[in-house]
Structure formats: structure tokens, C-alpha cells
Amino acid sequence: MNSISANEVKDRLEAGETLFLVDVREDYEVQHGKIPEAIHIPMGEIPSKLDVFNREMEYIFICKAGVRSENVCEYLTELGYKAINMEGGMMAWEGELD
């Protein structure tokens, strides 16, 4: 399982790198803020939204604490996608919120 720290995500964004971030928290959780560059697809909708993902691209998945996003990463990796889990989730995030 590939993973990345919240600080590394923040540093890479601040350096101007384009990252493909996917927030898999529920709607009510995202209302409290999300990383501005992230798209929101609740975990339960991932299987029906596979057409959104490109197997050639790398995606970083985010949830509240890193457990749900880790499960999503395992699922997508088994299907041949490049999925990376943001360790600690939004609880570890110290950057801006949308």
C-alpha cells in the first residue's frame, strides 16, 4: 500500500505540483472543509464512479483519519489503479481548507 504524509501533500501543493486528490468523506464531513484542490467522491460512490479515474494517473485519497481512504486505495489498487493513501487524513492536515 502506497502512502504519503499530509505534510508532504501540503509541501508538494505549495511547490506548485499538480496532485489529483480525492476526498472520500461523507457530505456532512466535507461541509466542515476540504483541501481546496481535492474533488469529493464519498467512499460508497467510488465503485460507481470508476470512469472518473485514469489508470495511468496517480490519485491521493483522503478521509478523516486515513482508514476509509486506505480501504479505497486497496480496492482501487486491486483494480489496477495507482492509489495513494494520505496518512492521518484530514486530522493530520495543517493547510488551507475550502
| Residue 37 burial (10 A CB sphere; 0-12, 13-18, 19+) | middle
Which residue has 493530520 as its cell numbers?
92
Instruction: List the domain range (segments joined by +) for residue 50.
Output: 2-92
Q: What is the pLDDT of residues 45-66, one digit of tens each?
A: 999 999 999 999 999 999 999 9
Residue 15, pLDDT score: 97
Let me know if residue 97 belongs to a domain.
no
Number of domains the chain contains: 1
Has residue 1 got a pLDDT over 80? no
Domain CATH code at residue 86: 3.40.250.10
Q: How many CA atoms lie within 13 A of 10 on its CB side?
A: 13
Active site residue ranges: 63
Each residue's pLDDT tens digit, 63-95:
999 999 999 999 999 999 999 999 999 999 999
pTM: 0.96
